Amino acid sequence: MALLAVRARRPTPPSGAAIGYSRRMTTLFIDADACPVTREAITVARSRGLSVMLVADSTQNLSKFVRPGVEAVQVTTGRDSADFAIVERLSPGDVVVTQDIGVAAMAIGRGAGAISPRGRIFYKATIDIELEVRHAEQRHRRAGGRTGGPSPFRDEDREHFTEQLERLIDQGAH
């Protein structure tokens, strides 16, 4: 599960903005538990002068990413411990990169943006239905059904993520 968030100052977006920020992003959070785009996210954030916070459980080695402007937070090993550590630190205008729709929903609920490692931006207008689909798939699997897993992560996914993250930051995450 991977998560990333960014903060920076910006004017209030026009009314009707998809996510509804009240200020610019200032910190980029990364759910660094198995995030395939950590380096790309840090590169984008640093190119725009944004700070980065990596959050992962204690099984991850985050020291290789720490440098000026990049902070690492290690949490205890446990289900969703990194997710909740990120959500509790979010402020309106932050952006989170995560594979977890639940984390994306909580981020949006706190006025932050969310993007997946494949570059899919999560929106307030559609997050509820995405949560319903996730729940239905979980019920199906618990009943013995099978659902297809994600396709292999490709270079095209990495490029799409970078383009979308840049877009999200440049447009004020709306």
Tens digits of residue pLDDT in 96-146:
999 999 999 999 999 998 999 999 999 999 888 888 887 787 788 888 888
State the burial class of residue 36 (Cβ atoms within 10 Å of its Cβ: 0-12, 13-18, 19+).
middle
Looking at residue 149, what is its pLDDT?
74
Tens digits of residue pLDDT in 145-167:
887 778 899 999 999 999 999 99
Task: List the domains of the chain with CATH numbers.
Answer: 4-170 (3.40.50)
Residues 115, 121: Cα–Cα separation, whole Å: 4
Residues 34 and 117: beta-carbon distance below 8 Å: no
Most confident range (mean pLDDT) of 15-24, 53-62, 138-147 is 53-62
Residues 106 and 9: beta-carbon distance below 8 Å: no
* pLDDT value at 28 more than 50: yes
Enter the pTM of the model: 0.78
Q: In terms of Cα–Cα distance, which of 88, 109, 128 is closest to 19? A: 109
Residues 128, 6: Cα–Cα separation, whole Å: 23
| Percent of residues, the chain, with pLDDT higher than 90 | 45
Residues 144, 114: Cα–Cα separation, whole Å: 31
